[in-house]
A and B are shown apart, each in its own frame.
Chain A
Amino acid sequence: MSDIILRTTNLGKQYKNRWAAQDINLEVHRGDVFGFLGPNGAGKSTSIRMILSLIKPTTGTVELFGQDLFKHRDLALQNVAGIVEKPDFYLYLSAYRNMQIAGSLTLGKTPADKRIMDTLNIVGLAERALDNVKTFSHGMKQRLGIAQALLCDPQLIMLDEPTNGLDPQGMKEVRELIVRLTTERGITVFLSSHLLNEVEQVATRMAIINKSKMLVQGSVEELLKANANKFLFNVEPVKKSLGVLGKIKTVSEIIQTEEGIIAKVNPKNIPSVINELVKAKCKVFSVQPKRSLEEYFLEITNET
């Protein structure tokens, strides 16, 4: 079987005269945490809905595990699970019953009690298994959604904005869970988000979509290479510091911004740069790596 487990070719959806997504060509490799980045309304959810057969595309094809989604839908989706936008459930039923329903749709039979409880245990909901989902918080529903996705041992999980509406603790838990899924269970994760730091922290490969069109795709490392090694210097006085930094050979691309001075420096040379600034009697309050994905994202989306 090919190493590429999800491939879309010229995938697009048109509503009357408006394209909600156009020419989406994605390639997700086995073992990836694939970040699908884009501002709100860029076409991320539409693309995911097409991949999961909720929406019929106007153009293009989707191949999952080598199977054409539109010719062999059941086979193609056999090893795929997902949460599209927010997870929704039968609120009048318990978490356990919801798991049974979701599991039976994939397995063709009601999943075993142990399997359900083990999966609920992974997301920390085993003790609430018999409670009606309507009593669950948003974070708990999100975790239950992930449990439903995990229930049938999928090889690919598609998560659409999985941390939407969660508090910082909940976001952290979901991120950690995503990393665990790939490292411990070997699951490929397709993660759509408009939160750059979320993708930056977990993704190995990514694609950026804006105004319905896909702009770039590749490994996070490669895409950010050009913007690597940038640091934000919070120093005083700024003018004097600019002069000192300008004289250091290992420092380049010095820009003064409202936040402070941004300069390109090899991280190994940071101590000597700070030393030079201190020697010149400049006050160094902080030196932080500049979030290069944010810069990269803004740069690339502003171009379109």
Chain B
Amino acid sequence: MLNLIYWELFKTYSKWRTYIGFIAVGVLIPVIMWIMSYSGEQMIQRQLRSLQKDFFISGNLFNGWVIGQLIMNGLWVHVPALIALVAGDQLSGEATGGTFRLILIRPVSRTRILNAKYFATLLYTASLVLFIGGLSLGLGLWIFGSGDLIAIDREGISILPESELIGRFFLAYALAMWTMFVVATLAFFISSFVENAIGPIITTMTVIVIFLIVSNLPVESVENIKPFLFTTQISVWTEAFKDPYDWSKIIKSCAALGINSLLFYSATLIIFKRKDILS
């Protein structure tokens, strides 16, 4: 199995398309930092203006942690497309290239091949999320320095001490990774029944948009299904910046996301095992 995974990873990381996500993020994050170095301070001051009437706030409020959180907020819509770019190509790419005829006539079961491909997909997803985290925090802390994090959301403002922030960001990225695994599994699932890589990318993004709309619909009839949609849980990573942690909510969200991944993967396995290779 390890050999199969090794070669799936080798194939994945030998493709140009795999690096598109890394290059895009690698360019985007420094650009965001550069823009923030000019206007970020004012933006923070604007957000805290009302607070400063009643409180005296001292220290470096505009720091690398703040930038890291802002980038997470801004990128979560775009990262699924970058993940679908690779995950959506895992099975459809083999169909397009005719290489299913090469690998599926060997004495290895389709289940094992699918497992190896899925594992490679998850590793790519994890590596992209970690790259975003490492680059945004590393560059942010290097350029803007460290300090406490002022986390602002709908429920209010929390000031999180610097000493807790490594752990909180670790949790935030772990949750973001778990969420992105669902996106990767969805794209992987769609790639099992099409024969070009464009279809899974577009379809994955379409599904995300539709599910997001349903997740935000203020309609009573869909309230029951909302918790099970992965899009409802897509911002679970923000729970890492709540004080105190709402572990119950985090566990429920993670379970819902896990069920989504499991369902998508099971469907992929059923389709793939029954699939006639005609390409």
- Across the interface, do A104 and B7 meet the contact criterion of CB distance under 8 Å? yes
A67-82: contact bitstring with B at CB < 8 Å (1 yes, 0 no)? 0000001111110111
From B99, B108, B274, give the contact of A56 (CB < 8 A).
Answer: B274
Q: Does B28 contact A (CB under 8 A)?
A: no
Contact residues on B (Cβ < 8 Å of other chain), bracket:
20 to 34
Interface flags, A165-194, vs B, CB<8A=1, else 0 = 000000000000000000000000000000
Q: Indicate whether B98 reaches chain A with its CB closer than 8 angstroms.
A: yes
- Residues of chain A within 8 A (CB-CB) of B11 are 90, 93, 101
The interface bits of chain A over 29-73 (1 if a CB of B lies within 8 angstroms of the residue's CB, else 0) are 000000000000000000001001111100000000000000001
Task: Report the bound CA distance from A100 to B109 in whole Å.
Answer: 18
Q: Does A108 contact B (CB under 8 A)?
A: yes
Distance, CA A84 to CA B7, complexed state (A): 22
A296 at the interface (CB under 8 A from B): no
Least distance between B97 CB and chain A CB atoms (Å)? 6
User: Which B residues are in CB contact (< 8 Å) with A82?
Assistant: 105
Among A84, A88, A89, A105, residue most surrounded by chain B Cβ atoms (within 10 Å): A105
User: Given the interface contacts A84-B101, A85-B101, A93-B14, does A55 sit within 8 Å of B276 by beta carbon?
Assistant: yes
Cα A109 to Cα B7 with chains together (Å): 10
CB-nearest residue of chain A to B106? A105
- Write the nearest CB–CB distance from A16 to chain B, whole angstroms: 13
The count of chain A contact residues (Cβ–Cβ below 8 Å) is 36
Q: Which A residues from 83 to 126 make CB contacts under 8 A with B?
A: 84-93, 97, 100-102, 104-106, 108-110
**Which chain B residues lie closer than 8 Å to A100 at the CB level?**
7
State whether the Cβ of B77 lies closer than 8 Å to any Cβ in chain A: no
Q: Does A142 contact B (CB under 8 A)?
A: no
Residues in A neighbouring B97, C-beta threshold 8 A: 88-91
B57 CB–A CB distance under 8 Å:
no
- In the bound complex, CA of A148 to CA of B99 (Å): 13
- With A100-B7, A110-B3 as given contacts, are A89 and B105 in contact (CB-CB < 8 Å)? no
Query: Given that A84-B105, A88-B97 are contacting pairs, would A55 and B277 also be in contact in the complex, using a CB cutoff of 8 Å?
Result: yes
Q: Does B167 contact A (CB under 8 A)?
A: no
Report whether over half of chain A's contact residues are helix, strand or loop; otherwise say mixed.
loop
Binary contact readout B2-32 vs A (1 if CB under 8 angstroms, 0 otherwise) = 0110010011001110000000000000000
A294 to B210, CA, bound (A): 61
**Contacting pair B107 A78 (CB below 8 A):** yes
Q: Which chain B residue has the least Cβ–Cβ distance from A74?
A: B107
Instruction: Contact check, B3 vs A104: say whether CB atoms are below 8 A apart.
Output: yes
Knowing A55-B277, A55-B278 touch, does A89 contact B102 (C-beta < 8 A)? yes
Whether B75 is near chain A, meaning CB under 8 Å from some CB there, is no
A73 touches B102 (CB 8 A): no
Q: How far is the CA of A300 from the CA of B265 in the complex (A)?
A: 50
| Contact residues in A for B98 (Cβ distance below 8 Å) | 85-86, 88
Q: How far in angstroms is the closest Cβ of chain B from A13? A: 8
Which A residue sits closest to B108, measured CB to CB? A105
Q: Which of B143-192 contact A (CB under 8 A)?
A: none
Interface residues of A (CB under 8 A from B): 49, 52-56, 73-78, 80-82, 84-93, 97, 100-102, 104-106, 108-110, 148
Could you list 11 examples of A-B contacts with CB < 8 Å? A52-B105, A74-B109, A78-B107, A90-B14, A92-B16, A97-B10, A101-B102, A102-B103, A105-B4, A106-B108, A110-B3
Q: A105-B106, A105-B108, A109-B3 are in contact. List 19 more A-B contacts (CB 8 A).
A: A54-B100, A54-B276, A56-B274, A74-B108, A76-B107, A77-B106, A82-B105, A87-B102, A89-B99, A90-B99, A92-B16, A97-B14, A101-B7, A101-B11, A102-B102, A104-B4, A105-B107, A106-B108, A110-B3
